[in-house]
Amino acid sequence: MKRFQARHAAPALSVLMALMLATGALAGSGRHDADSDAADDSALTFDASNYTRVGVTIDGTYVPVRWYKNVCYVKQPVLMATTQTGLGGATQVIDNPQCGYQNLNIFVPEASLNDPKTALYLAVNNGGWMASYQRASVTDGATLDSSTSNVGAALKAGYVYVDVATRGRNVVAADATYPGRSPAVVVDAKAAVRYLRLNDARMPGSAERIVVNGTSGGGGLVSILGASGNSPDYLPYLAAIGAAGIDKRGRSTLRDDVLAVVAYCPITDLGHADLAYEWLFTALNSRALAGTSNANPTASAELASRFPAYQRSLGLRNADGQRLTADNMLATIQAEVIRSAETAMRAGTTLPKLGESFTVSGMGGSKTYVNDWMDVDTTTQRVLSLDMTRYLAFVATQATLKPTPAFDQSGLSVLTNPAGESNLFGTPTQLYSNFTDYSWNHNDKTDGVGLDETGLTWTQFLRQPGTRVDEQIRLIDPLAFIGSQADTSPYWYVRHGTRDRDTAFTVSINLSRALAADRKVADVNYRLAWNQPHAGNYDVPEAMAWVATVLKAAERRGR
């Protein structure tokens, strides 16, 4: 487990002593008063009386709810520009530039007002690693079905439901800089958790029982949030926005770990997602078989060729103890797809037999495909055969594959290009920076970035004083924290659709194997979700039953 080792090596004792002497922190120096260092978080005190009463009908029953509106969770929120650009370039005029990207909408079911133990269910609503502006998922008078709405299911279970707004890669500050570069979105989510910990005694429910939910970019966000609990690496960033529980010397006086993670199709491991994507979709010729317009065989081949070494470097193992390498990755994916299909059949889903057609519905309407890749026995509910070449060609056909490279793209013309993630990286005054070796060295755009204009290779670039892109990658990468000294969440529910083409299946498989190898992790409930696209919250009864089970397990362990 080479990469899964402690990341927070203690500084040498002598250095520590010198530092403490210099700052007067050693006992007997007589000059230091611990109280004077204490965090002043009085501005972040939760006001329990400041709510609006709303109500929703869940499964036919009226549920009164207290709504705490747009609660700013930091002392120094970043002042934003009033016009923001959203997905696809649409502009939006926002009415809360002061704190609309760093606040909470908190919904407390009145039945839980006196329950100090109920869970806090936090929804991060960002997609695409974009900013997520304040949002209220509970609307007065709404009718909710707890079998399809996770909001309804959470409130019905008596959990406090919290919408978390965060900065992200597209947000523009009032001073025209980009304050949402990595790790801002993670820092914000941690600041939100800290706010809830600070106010635990003033609010119903328990901040020791936080469950976080996110999809896609949000799945990536809750994964790093869950992986990196209490890591000191984020403290300077937390201090800069006035997060709760940072004392005057930048030390933490509150925790920011969370109890449970519910992550759908996490867009994560961005530093290697391009390699994984090209490897997966070229290993069995899927790009070509699907006839997609995004073929770039030279780039694909070069990126794919780097995947085996990367995969090996992770040092992960399957449940049978075998090392998980590029050599057995396709077989591993095949086994996961079979497990997904058989689980669906046992749950009552009718799967098409070989040669039968089936329909999938998506944003562009519904489309019919012939199942030419998997044979099932509907009586025994077993998969008889699964042709990986045809299966991956189907995945690549039903939603056109991303271009190559899939994530680290150059030449983003608008802040919001949803096709690439490079504007999550770089400085607050740069439009974007490449964040991988390949894209940096192959950048041919006039953008001030890359070997072409800087004359620096990727390796040379990273050696430049002040270069932060590698750190930006690490601080959003759960694999950098799972198995480290961080307080990684003990409970994980991870789903990734069997026809998702937004990131390689290897990404969630690796996440699940890393979690399984971490002794702090008690439960990894991982599965490819049968016939699901890039989406989330499609399995509310199953996910919520899991949440209820792990909350009980946590209670037995004293949380």
**Residue 229 touches ligand DHB, criterion: CB under 6 A:** no
| Of residues 87 and 331, the one with the C-beta less far from ligand DHB | 87
Window of 121-129, 147-155, 474-482, 518-526 that interacts with ligand DHB by CB under 6 A? 121-129
Q: Distance between CA atoms of 498 and 336, rounded to whole angstroms?
A: 9
* Six token digits for residue 93: 């005029």
| Of residues 128 and 450, the one with the C-beta less far from ligand DHB | 128
Q: Which residues, numbered 408-467, are part of the site for ligand DHB (CB under 6 A)?
A: 421
Task: Give the torsion sign (CA, 232, 234, 240, 245).
Answer: negative
Q: Which residues, numbered 287-346, are part of the site for ligand DHB (CB under 6 A)?
A: none
* Total residues binding ligand DHB (CB under 6 A): 10
Which residue from 150, 199, 213, 216 is in contact with ligand DHB, where contact means CB under 6 A?
216
- The answer to whether 396 and 406 are in contact (CB under 8 A) is no
DSSP H or E segment with residue 403: none
**Residue 217 touches ligand DHB, criterion: CB under 6 A:** yes
Question: One symbol per residue from 491 to 530: x for binding ligand DHB (CB under 6 A), - otherwise; what is it?
Answer: -----------x----------------------------
Window of 124-132, 147-155, 289-297, 508-516 that interacts with ligand DHB by CB under 6 A? 124-132
Minimum distance of ligand DHB from residue 402's CB (angstroms)? 7
Range 489-504 burial, b when 16+ CB lie within 10 A, else e = bbbbbbbbbbbbbbbb
| Of residues 109 and 220, the one with the C-beta less far from ligand DHB | 220
Task: Give the torsion sign (CA, 104, 110, 116, 119).
Answer: negative
* Six token digits for residue 28: 């007997």
| Of residues 265 and 524, the one with the C-beta less far from ligand DHB | 265
Minimum distance of ligand DHB from residue 127's CB (angstroms)? 3
Minimum distance of ligand DHB from residue 501's CB (angstroms)? 9
Q: Distance between CA atoms of 314 and 310, rounded to whole angstroms?
A: 7
Other CB atoms within a 10 A radius of the CB of residue 96 amount to 17
List the strands of the sheet with 120-124, edge to edge: 143-144, 52-58, 61-72, 103-109, 160-164, 120-124, 210-215, 260-264, 491-497, 523-529
Q: Distance between CA atoms of 84 and 542, rounded to whole angstroms?
A: 37
Which residue is associated with the tokens 């991060």?
Answer: 124
Minimum distance of ligand DHB from residue 35's CB (angstroms)? 44
State how far Cα 6 lies from the chain centre. 22
Minimum distance of ligand DHB from residue 129's CB (angstroms)? 6
Radius of gyration, alpha carbons of the chain: 24
Minimum distance of ligand DHB from residue 489's CB (angstroms)? 21
Q: Distance between CA atoms of 89 and 364, rounded to whole angstroms?
A: 20
- The answer to whether 338 and 386 are in contact (CB under 8 A) is yes
**Residue 533 touches ligand DHB, criterion: CB under 6 A:** no
Window of 125-133, 232-240, 297-305, 391-399 that interacts with ligand DHB by CB under 6 A? 125-133
Minimum distance of ligand DHB from residue 407's CB (angstroms)? 6
Crossing angle, helix 326-346 and helix 307-314, to 10 degrees? Answer: 70
Crossing angle, helix 217-227 and helix 184-198, to 10 degrees? Answer: 60
- The answer to whether 529 and 340 are in contact (CB under 8 A) is yes
**Residue 127 touches ligand DHB, criterion: CB under 6 A:** yes
Window of 123-131, 308-316, 428-436, 542-550 that interacts with ligand DHB by CB under 6 A? 123-131
- The answer to whether 465 and 449 are in contact (CB under 8 A) is no
Which residue from 74, 123, 203, 267 is in contact with ligand DHB, where contact means CB under 6 A?
267
- In the complex, residue closest to ligand DHB by CB: 216
Window of 100-108, 126-134, 230-238, 295-303 that interacts with ligand DHB by CB under 6 A? 126-134
Task: Give the torsion sign (CA, 514, 491, 267, 238).
Answer: negative
**Residue 269 touches ligand DHB, criterion: CB under 6 A:** no
Minimum distance of ligand DHB from residue 252's CB (angstroms)? 30
Which residue from 97, 128, 168, 450 is in contact with ligand DHB, where contact means CB under 6 A?
128
Query: What secondary structure letter does DSSP report for 203?
Result: S
Residues that bind ligand DHB in the complex, under the rule CB under 6 A: 127-129, 216-217, 267, 407, 421, 502, 534
